[in-house]
A and B are shown apart, each in its own frame.
Chain A
Amino acid sequence: MSTVVTRARPRRLQGRPPRTLIVAGAVTAIVSLIPLVYLVVRVSDAGAQRIIDVLIRPRTLETVVTSVSLVLVVVTACLAIGIPVAWLLARTALPMRGLWIVLVALPLAMPSYVAAYAWIAQFPAMSGFWAAAFILTLVSSPYVVLPVTASFRGSDPALEEVARSLGRGPFRAFATTTLPQAWPAAAGGALLVALYTLSDFGAVALLRVDAFTRVIYASYRASFDRVSAAVLALVLVGLAALLVLAERRVRGRTRRWRVATGTQRTAAPVELSPPARIAAILGLTILTVLALGIPLLSLILRMVQGSRSELDLTELLAAAATSLGVSLAGAFLAVLLALPVGILAARYRTRSVRTIETVSYTGHALPAVVVGLSLVFLTLNVVPFVYQTVFVLAFAYAVLFLPKAIGATRSATAAVSPVLEQTARTLGRSPLRAWSETTLRLTLPGIAAGGLLVLLTAMKELPATLMLRPTGLDTLATELWSRTEIAAYGAAAPYAIALVCIAAIPAWLLGRTMTRTPEAVDEAEDL
């Protein structure tokens, strides 16, 4: 046997991408801009005076203050909890470490409105700012814990050893070498938490906090005030865009700083003293009980109690089937739109490709409420014959979750050397056949996984579904919503459980990739 020297193979191609691919990519980019552009058009139609009126209303300022405070509180709490937890998981000899990692990642499987419902069902007095901050922290803390854990695990222990040999104590060595390396991961995670909190509709709506999403939804429902809904939506988009830009800048620096080549060791785990160990396990247990134990217990209790008033199984199944059907259409459209963009982004790095990719990620910065609102306007005014049809709903899902499908296509394509396709060309295949017999064949599982992810995410989507669904169409999320609104907690439980089961699959995948390598975090962030 010979040794094969591994070398970085060129994955990218030089030169201009084929025109057909660029055209297809441009179509995707334009499609993903539709909701935002139409919103801008609608707002500018209202005239400067109306816009200013809405902006200077005290209510607007209150909303901004509420949303921004909520974001700050949740982000601070997530960092305060997330970094120590990540250190425990990555660097200490904790008993049952693998189990803890799973338990810490699992809150991702709890859509915010399900968590909020579960807590309210048990403690009906819960409501307001701090309750929302509490629940959003529990639900979104994995966004910090997982990447920071990966960063702590991946950092080179030799650095810490060198710091020790240069006279630093164990804590200072960690604080001056490993911790700074984890900072980009923590900052990236914090920005995801911020974006999640800002865009969240379910928790703030159920807990009656007048954050942007709830106010926008309320003004939209009070149909006489659609301009103010649109203006507020634009302000919200502006805030979200700032977060996305910041997140991109941080992500650019997340690359590992390891200069040396060669195989890296993993750090020897720290042995905690018995009291510290008990404290650590106690802390993790409390976190898990709050984030998973109480909500799940509440759901099960409600389910059992609710069964006294009989469960309408056909209604549950019908809602599940509807969710599946609409989401399937959305996922299919998203994959189709993502294909050219993902291939371009993996293979070429020209300015036009970069523009197409960036624009196609618009959905990442658009809270679902905004997409819902814009598409309501658009369908009512421009294409009334599709207003409140499943097409619009599927389209909304595709735009919202397109980044996930693009990310999956891009990373799957980037993993296949373009040389395979070129070799197939010299062996007599036309460009399309060379692609389908080599690259497509090899990337299909990755692309399908992206589609599945879109499907599962769309199935638990709430605000856009509420706004765009045809009258009489009920998904699992809307059924849960309407039952919670009338305090029919028992009847809502089966829907909540079904939603948790659906959300558990992408959460599990996310937890797996996020704790592996910093590179994988890049891909997982879009989930």
Chain B
Amino acid sequence: MTGVEVRGLTAGYGGVPVLENLDLTVPSGAVAAVLGPSGSGKTTLLRALAGFIKPTAGTITFGDRLVAGAGPGCPHAFIPPEKRRVGIVPQEGALFPHLDVSANVAFGLPKSRSSRADTTARTAEVLEMVGMADYAHARPHELSGGQQQRVALARALAPQPDVVLLDEPFTALDAGLRGRLRAEVRELLDSLGTTAILITHDQEEALSTADLVAVMRDGRIAQSGTPLDVYDVPADLAVARFVGDAVELPGVAHDGIATCALGDVAIRDDAVSGPTTVVLRPEQLVLSCPVDVSREMPGAGVVRETSYHGHDSLLRVELVDGTLIPVRVPGGTPPPRPGEDVVVTVTGTGRAFPA
């Protein structure tokens, strides 16, 4: 089995480093999501992993195979893409337009006369796996976007690569299909036990699909952990803002409690004291509409805006001190209207970062 180990990676184009001293560990068989805004260096990382660019420093190891960088006994290893045993699923599939589906899938399989039967069998097998067995002789342009992605995945998996790299493979699909295909791909990768790295800018996709989420920023990994960790225990304010919606309130912390416009809030960070920024998730806020709201109550405020989404509504509540915060209320009952007095209370613990 093959994990991926990236140590001190520095890489870029024409002498300008895009990645600087980047570390990333993906355990064997795991699906990792590299999550970052555009310009964070995700694509450069993928290209370095695939072998399209040569790192200027650091190492990349697949299992016990050093594929790039300096290692014991080899001063400067660089395995070209064709010998790296990586599969890639590019954006929009990038199927070879001049080949039919089965020829696309067989592209990376041996072509010699003696192996022809094996190649045919393997092609059929992977197409079956991705549910495209009926389309073996279709041309890429005859397929829908989702089907093209399935074939692209089959093509990447056919030669049994050590690592599969998925470059935003679902972004070009419409919302419903995206969710379904994501779940299917996840299931397939799990059952095969293939190590996979998914590049994405969609935090929902990263959280729902991966075992491990690595948040990228400015050419480095800002935080790497389970989806739960990254969402609940963001390493810094920027990660908190990027992964999910964040409610930020100024406050003062001492002994695991922060005092802010919503009253006293329990925080995870015992060590933080003094002025802080308290970060909560909108779903941690509970709204109530008591009959006698007094402006002195902690969390008292006025609804300023209501946007109705069906399954829930997103309100903007102006607190007594003038801060506007987003609050999500579940659907089912009519949401409060703008102008109504409300009280916001907090459930669970928040995070506090020194202000």
Contacts and interface: CB of A to CB of B under 8 A. Distances in A.
B94 A423 contact: yes
Interface in A413-447: 417, 419-420, 422-431, 434, 438, 441-442
B92 A7 contact: yes
Interface stretch (B32-40, B78-86, B202-210): B78-86
Interface in A215-243: none
Interface residues of B, number: 36
B146 A429 contact: no
B90 A423 contact: yes
A427 B172 contact: no
B104 to A, nearest CB: 10
B319 interface: no
Interface in A9-64: 9, 14-16
Interface string B37-76: 0000000000000111100000000000000000000000
A4 B172 contact: yes
A5 B80 contact: no
B135 interface: no
A446 to B, nearest CB: 13
Given A15-B53, A427-B159, A428-B108, A4 B82 contact: no
Q: How large is the interface on A (under 10, 10 to 19, 20 to 34, 35 or more residues)?
A: 20 to 34
Contact of A9 (B92, B156, B171): B92
B173 interface: yes
Contacts of A15: 13-14, 53
Contact of A426 (B84, B92, B144, B174): B84
Contact of B145 (A3, A428, A441): A3
Interface in B137-170: 144-146, 148, 155-156, 159, 161
B50 A442 contact: no
A16 B14 contact: yes
Contacts of A438: 96
B107 A427 contact: yes
Contacts of B50: 422, 425-426
A434 B174 CA distance: 32
Contacts of A4: 92, 144-145, 148, 172-173
Contact of A2 (B53, B144, B159, B161): B144
A442 B174 CA distance: 29
A1 B144 contact: yes
A115 B86 CA distance: 62
A437 to B, nearest CB: 8
Contacts of A434: 82
B82 A430 contact: yes
Residue in A14, A15, A423, A424 whose Cβ sees the most chain B Cβ within 10 Å: A423
Interface of A: 1-7, 9, 14-16, 350, 417, 419-420, 422-431, 434, 438, 441-442
28 contacts: A2-B145, A2-B173, A3-B174, A4-B172, A5-B145, A5-B173, A5-B174, A7-B92, A7-B172, A15-B53, A16-B13, A16-B14, A417-B94, A422-B52, A422-B88, A422-B90, A423-B90, A424-B107, A426-B50, A426-B82, A426-B88, A427-B82, A428-B82, A428-B83, A430-B80, A430-B82, A431-B80, A438-B96
Interface of B: 13-14, 50-53, 80-84, 86-88, 90-92, 94, 96-98, 107-108, 144-146, 148, 155-156, 159, 161, 171-174, 177
